[in-house]
Amino acid sequence: MREIYNELKRHSGKLTEFAQVLVDRGLYTNTKHCVAMMRHSTQFRQDVQDIYAEWKPGKLKTKDTATHNAKLAEVFRSIKKKELKEKVETMCEILEETLMTVTLAIKHSDVRKLGEVKANIENILYGEKQ
């Protein structure tokens, strides 16, 4: 009976529902007493096993793993899209800033800024150096 109790405990409301079935069949007087007996009883009862086998099919909701996996894959795809979009936007911002720096360096004939521009472009192309 403990196996039945442990299995039904995992599903919300199913333990009380099965206890009500046992009360309706006349094995116990009330659901509270029935649940307590299922929790503490270690003795095998064939009548309870038979009623459970008859009651069980279709009563417990099982998770559709194919649908769950499809939804999970879609979530990860959307996360990857967001991350990629953020990276591209960051690269565009850095390139715009670099272009502005190059333009100002050319305008003012400032060669020192070219090192900064080169570093920015290298960071975009090859990633940050560590």
pLDDT at 120: 83
Which pTM does this prediction carry? 0.43
User: Collapsing DSSP states into helix, strand and coil, what is residue 41?
Assistant: coil
CA 94 vs CA 101, 104, 119, 120: distances in Å: 10, 15, 11, 7
8's enclosing H/E stretch is: helix 2-9
Residue 97 lies in a domain: yes
Contact 123, 98 (CB under 8 A): no
The tens digit of pLDDT for each residue in 21-74 reads 889 888 888 888 888 888 887 778 888 888 888 887 555 555 678 888 888 899
User: Of the candidates 63, 70, 47, which has an alpha carbon nearest to the alpha carbon of residue 10?
Assistant: 63
Q: Does 45 share its domain with 87?
A: no
Residue 49 lies in a domain: yes
Q: Please give the tally of structural domains in the chain.
A: 2
Residue 67 lies in a domain: no
The tens digit of pLDDT for each residue in 78-128 reads 999 999 899 889 888 988 988 998 888 888 888 888 888 888 888 888 877
Q: Does 48 share its domain with 7?
A: yes
Q: Does 47 share its domain with 7?
A: yes
Residue range of the domain that includes 24: 2-55
Q: Does 48 share its domain with 91?
A: no
